[in-house]
Amino acid sequence: MTSARRFLPLTTPGFDDDEIAEVSRCLDSGWVTQGPMVKRFEERFAAAHRVPHALATTSCTAALHLATMALGVGPGDEVVVPAFTWVTSAHAVEYTGARVVFCDVDLTTYNLDPASLARAIGPRTRAVVVVHLFGLAAPLREVLELTAAKGIRIIEDAACAVGSTYDGVPVGGTGDVGCFSFHPRKVITTGEGGMLTTRDPELAARLAVLRNHGAVPDPSHREPAPPWRMGRFEVLGYNLRLSDIQAAVGLAQMAKLARLLQERKERALRYDDLLSGIADLALPAVPAPCGHTYQSYVVRLLEGGRERRNRVMETLQADGVQTRPGTHAVHRLGYYARRYGLQPDDFPAACSAEDTTIAIPLFPGMTDADQDRVAERLAAAMKMA
């Protein structure tokens, strides 16, 4: 009976003895706040993403907040954000006192639509948050063509895109700063956590200061530091540092990154085969030259709208298969609708994506039988809805 079958989660982290061993080493060292494990984690992440600077943070939200501050975004500035994304892509702009200006997305890829971005750019545009949604690299070449000559800064929201590439180059190093997430739903996880990446040494230095209470390095560079030194604080900063315990988990996860990405890709391609016969279901698109991590495998119903989509999800839940909508149409959320006088049906592609997308299970260790079950139940649920 269905009730006796294994519950299939949307995703689950892939841990084994490697994480336990790294955490044990951290605990045995007696150093558990930001320290040598964080430094190793940052170096390994930077190498994997081909950037000279990586800085670990408490979350991707923290990374986005730090990025906007370090780029000098503030009151009087505008930052363009895709209307279909997780809410913190926009929240980070609001934290600085700047104004969010939304642009629509391409309904095929769910990433920002360059034509809508062009219309959203104005004289006060200071930056664009380029979201690599669900792990699919956004159209960076088109974005740079619209922004480079105007001096508009690029923040890559790569929360879902650890290990993804654009034109063969890892995301997070094409814009001014990249922001990654290690939430449990992501390709690798530290429980909670994030990472900043940049090629700019001056920007990296500002990010390091803002992350650590605003503490400025001692200009004397004395090592070891004198016992009486308390630090210099010239700017208002935050405590947004990752702990060595979390970094220990991250080090073990990074060692598995290539395997985890390959497993996700293989499972996604198998879903493509299993689901290709469902006529009114759009599968993930991967246009050249964009890479995809398949952090989420998101399908879209072509008929029936939100009500039918919700019935399908409820049927799958009753069958023991967990799903989620793709993500928010952020301009519909109460705070942004009220603040900017936005209407629910503004940004029609984002609205359609919010109403009709479903993320289905994909996780490390998933079996062929698991995928067969998801595909069979999804097809049946769509017929019933």
Q: For residue 363, how many C-alpha atoms fall within 13 Å in the half-sphere facing its CB?
A: 20
In whole angstroms, give the CA distance from residue 85 to residue 106.
12
Closest listed residue to residue 104, CA positions, set 119, 92, 90, 86: 119
Q: Residue 105 gets which letter from DSSP?
A: B
In whole angstroms, give the CA distance from residue 64 to residue 214.
17
Q: What are phi and psi of 76, to 5 degrees?
A: 95, -15
Catalytic residue, candidates 150, 186, 256, 265? 186
Joined tokens for residue 7: 């519950």
In whole angstroms, give the CA distance from residue 112 to residue 82.
6
Beta bridge mates, 81:
102
Q: Return the amino acid letter for 381.
A: A
Q: Is 150 a catalytic residue?
A: no
User: How many CB atoms are closer than 10 A to CB 339?
Assistant: 12
Active site residues per annotation: 186
